[in-house]
Structure 1
Amino acid sequence: MAVVGVEIEQRAVVLDGHTFGAAGAYEKLAGVVRFAVDRANPANHAITDLGLAPANARGHVEFWADFYLLRPADPARGNRRLLLDVPNRGRKVALGLFNSTPRVPDPSTPDDFGNGFLMRHGYTVAWCGWQHDVPRRDGLMALTVPAARGNGPAITGLVRCEWRPNTRVTTLPLADRYHIPHPTIDLQDPGARLTVRERREAAAVEVERGAWRFPDASSLTVENGFEPGKIYELVYRAANPPLVGLGFLAVRDTAAWLRCASAADGNPCAETLDRAYAFGVSQSGRFLRHLLHLGLNEDEAGRRVFDAVVPHVAGARRGEFNHRFGQPSLNATHAVGSLFPFTDTVETDPLTGERGALLARLEARGTLPKIFTINTSAEYWRGDASLVHTDIPGKRDVEPHPAARVYLFAGTQHTPGSLPPPDADPNTGGRGREPFNVVDYAPLLRAALVSLDRWVTEGVEPPASNVPRLADGTAVLAEVTAGVFTKIPGVRFPDRIDRPVRLDFGPELARGIVTELPPKVGAPFVTFVSAVDADGNEIAGVRPVE
Structure 2
Amino acid sequence: MPRIRGRRAALLFAGAVAATPAAARITRIDVLRVEPAFGGASFGAAGAFERVIGRAHGEVDPKEPGNATIQDIALAPRNARGLVAYDTDVEILRPADPAKGNRVVLFNVVNRGNKGALNLFNADVPPGNGVTNRLENPGDGWLQRQGYTLVWFGWQADVLPGDGRMPFSAPVAQAPDGSAITGTVRAEFALQKPATVQNLGSGWFTGMSTAGAPAASTDNAAAFPDGFRPTLTVRASATAAPVPIPASEWRFGDCQAPNDRQVCYPAGFQPGRLYDLTYRAKDPLVMGLGFAAARDLGTFLGTAERDDAGAPNPVAHGPGVKRVIMGTSQSGRFIRSLVALGFNRGEDGTRVFDGALPHIGGGLMPLNMRFAQPGRAWGQQIDHDYPAYDFPFTYAPEADPLTGRRQGLLDRCTADGTCPKLVHAATALEFWEGRQSLGVTDPLGRADAPEPAEVRTFIMASTQHAPPPLPLPAAPSLCTQQSNPNPHTWTMRALLTDLVEWVRDGRDPPPSAVPRIADGTLVAPDELRFPAVPATRYGGVDRPPLRYSAAFDALHVLDRGPDWRPGESSGVETLVPPRRGMASYGVLVPQVDADGIDVAGVRDVYVRVPIGTYTGWNAFRPELFEGGFCNFQGSFVPFAATRAERDAAGDPRPSLAERYPTPDVYAAAVERAGADLVAARLMLPEDAARLTAEAKRDGVRTGP
Q: Tell whether the 8 Å contact from 1:3 to 1:35 is kept in structure 2 after alignment.
A: yes
Is 1:461 aligned with 2:508? yes
Equivalent AA in structure 2 for residue 541 of structure 1: G
1:500-515 equivalences under 5 Å are 500-510=555-565, 512-515=571-574
Which position in structure 1 is the counterpart of 2:199?
Answer: 173
Is 1:247 aligned with 2:290? yes
Closer, same or farther in 2 for the Cα pair 1:143/1:348, shift >3 Å? same
Counterpart-to-counterpart distance in 2, 1:82 and 1:243: 28
Equivalent AA in structure 1 for residue 597 of structure 2: N
Q: Could you tell me how far 1:265 is from its partner in structure 2?
A: 4.3
Is 1:438 aligned with 2:438? no
Q: Secondary structure at the match of 2:605?
A: coil
Which position in structure 2 is the counterpart of 1:531?
Answer: 591
Moved more, 526-535 or 471-480: 471-480
What do the CA deviations read for 1:181-207 (whole angstroms, capped 9, x no partner)?
211111235321223222122233333
Q: Secondary structure at the match of 2:424?
A: strand
Q: Tell whether the 8 Å contact from 2:526 to 2:550 is kept in structure 1 after alignment.
A: no
Which position in structure 1 is the counterpart of 2:262?
Answer: 219
Q: Tell whether the 8 Å contact from 2:185 to 2:280 is kept in structure 1 after alignment.
A: yes
Which position in structure 1 is the counterpart of 2:243?
Answer: 205
Counterpart-to-counterpart distance in 2, 1:156 and 1:418: 43
1:266-345 equivalences under 5 Å are 266-271=312-317, 274-315=321-362, 317-331=363-377, 332-345=383-396
1:50-61 equivalences under 5 Å are 50-61=73-84
Counterpart-to-counterpart distance in 2, 1:483 and 1:94: 34
Partner residue of 1:421 out of 472, 489, 501: 472
Counterpart-to-counterpart distance in 2, 1:79 and 1:93: 20
1:130-169 equivalences under 5 Å are 130-152=155-177, 153-169=179-195
Q: Secondary structure at the match of 1:538?
A: coil
Q: Could you tell me how far 1:403 is from its partner in structure 2?
A: 0.6
Q: Tell whether the 8 Å contact from 1:319 to 1:335 is kept in structure 2 after alignment.
A: no
Q: Could you tell me how far 1:105 is from its partner in structure 2?
A: 4.9
Moved more, 327-336 or 524-533: 327-336
Which position in structure 2 is the counterpart of 1:44?
Answer: 67
Which position in structure 2 is the counterpart of 1:183?
Answer: 214
What do the CA deviations read for 1:312-367 (whole angstroms, capped 9, x no partner)?
1012x112211001011122231222211101122222123132211111111211
Counterpart-to-counterpart distance in 2, 1:237 and 1:99: 44
Q: Could you tell me how far 1:499 is from its partner in structure 2?
A: 1.6
Moved more, 28-37 or 13-22: 13-22
Counterpart-to-counterpart distance in 1, 2:116 and 2:186: 28
Q: Secondary structure at the match of 1:97?
A: helix
Equivalent AA in structure 2 for residue 149 of structure 1: Q
Is 1:449 aligned with 2:500? no
Which position in structure 2 is the counterpart of 1:195?
Answer: 233
Closer, same or farther in 2 for the Cα pair 1:296/1:184, shift >3 Å? same
Partner residue of 1:392 out of 443, 468, 472: 443
Quote the sequence identity (%): 40
Unpaired runs of 5+ in structure 2? 1-23, 224-228, 254-258, 378-382, 537-544, 607-704
Q: Tell whether the 8 Å contact from 2:133 to 2:163 is kept in structure 1 after alignment.
A: no
Which position in structure 2 is the counterpart of 1:261?
Answer: 304
Counterpart-to-counterpart distance in 2, 1:151 and 1:439: 53
Q: Could you tell me how far 1:240 is from its partner in structure 2?
A: 1.5
Q: Tell whether the 8 Å contact from 2:119 to 2:132 is kept in structure 1 after alignment.
A: no
Closer, same or farther in 2 for the Cα pair 1:222/1:188, shift >3 Å? same
TM-score, length-scaled by structure 2: 0.74
Which position in structure 2 is the counterpart of 1:71?
Answer: 94
Q: Tell whether the 8 Å contact from 2:358 to 2:424 is kept in structure 1 after alignment.
A: yes
Counterpart-to-counterpart distance in 2, 1:306 and 1:201: 41
Q: Give the alignment's Cα RMSD to 1 decimal.
A: 2.0
Partner residue of 1:499 out of 554, 557, 569: 554
Q: Could you tell me how far 1:107 is from its partner in structure 2?
A: 4.4
Q: Tell whether the 8 Å contact from 2:194 to 2:269 is kept in structure 1 after alignment.
A: yes
Q: Tell whether the 8 Å contact from 1:420 to 1:438 is kept in structure 2 after alignment.
A: no
Which position in structure 2 is the counterpart of 1:412?
Answer: 463
Closer, same or farther in 2 for the Cα pair 1:221/1:328, shift >3 Å? same
Which structure has the larger Rg? Answer: 2
Counterpart-to-counterpart distance in 1, 2:428 and 2:344: 29
Is 1:11 aligned with 2:34? yes
Equivalent AA in structure 2 for residue 372 of structure 1: V
Q: Tell whether the 8 Å contact from 1:107 to 1:113 is kept in structure 2 after alignment.
A: no
Which position in structure 2 is the counterpart of 1:123?
Answer: 148
What do the CA deviations read for 1:116-149 (whole angstroms, capped 9, x no partner)?
1111111110011001111111210010111111
TM-score, length-scaled by structure 1: 0.94
Which position in structure 2 is the counterpart of 1:231?
Answer: 274
4+ long deviations beyond 6 Å: none
Counterpart-to-counterpart distance in 2, 1:16 and 1:240: 44
Which position in structure 1 is the counterpart of 2:626?
Answer: none
Closer, same or farther in 2 for the Cα pair 1:95/1:524, shift >3 Å? same
What do the CA deviations read for 1:379-412 (whole angstroms, capped 9, x no partner)?
1111411110111111100022111011110111
Counterpart-to-counterpart distance in 1, 2:82 and 2:508: 44
Counterpart-to-counterpart distance in 2, 1:355 and 1:194: 39
Q: Secondary structure at the match of 1:437?
A: coil
Counterpart-to-counterpart distance in 1, 2:235 and 2:133: 40
What do the CA deviations read for 1:71-112 (whole angstroms, capped 9, x no partner)?
111111111111000000111110000012234255454xx1
Closer, same or farther in 2 for the Cα pair 1:224/1:423, shift >3 Å? farther
Q: Could you tell me how far 1:222 is from its partner in structure 2?
A: 2.8
Is 1:366 aligned with 2:413? no
Q: Tell whether the 8 Å contact from 1:410 to 1:538 is kept in structure 2 after alignment.
A: yes
Closer, same or farther in 2 for the Cα pair 1:184/1:81, shift >3 Å? same
Counterpart-to-counterpart distance in 2, 1:207 and 1:433: 30
Is 1:520 aligned with 2:571? no
Equivalent AA in structure 2 for residue 512 of structure 1: G
Counterpart-to-counterpart distance in 2, 1:57 and 1:5: 16
Counterpart-to-counterpart distance in 1, 2:434 and 2:165: 30
Counterpart-to-counterpart distance in 2, 1:374 and 1:508: 33
Q: Tell whether the 8 Å contact from 1:416 to 1:441 is kept in structure 2 after alignment.
A: yes
Q: Could you tell me how far 1:154 is from its partner in structure 2?
A: 1.5
Q: Tell whether the 8 Å contact from 1:5 to 1:266 is kept in structure 2 after alignment.
A: no
Q: Could you tell me how far 1:482 is from its partner in structure 2?
A: 5.9
Q: How many residues align?
A: 539
Counterpart-to-counterpart distance in 2, 1:226 and 1:506: 30
Counterpart-to-counterpart distance in 2, 1:167 and 1:423: 20
Which position in structure 1 is the counterpart of 2:540?
Answer: none
Equivalent AA in structure 2 for residue 493 of structure 1: Y
Q: Tell whether the 8 Å contact from 2:25 to 2:60 is kept in structure 1 after alignment.
A: yes
Closer, same or farther in 2 for the Cα pair 1:423/1:84, shift >3 Å? farther
Q: Tell whether the 8 Å contact from 1:155 to 1:240 is kept in structure 2 after alignment.
A: yes
Q: Tell whether the 8 Å contact from 2:360 to 2:427 is kept in structure 1 after alignment.
A: yes
Counterpart-to-counterpart distance in 2, 1:63 and 1:485: 56
Q: Secondary structure at the match of 1:338?
A: coil
Which position in structure 2 is the counterpart of 1:545?
Answer: 605
Equivalent AA in structure 1 for residue 324 of structure 2: Y
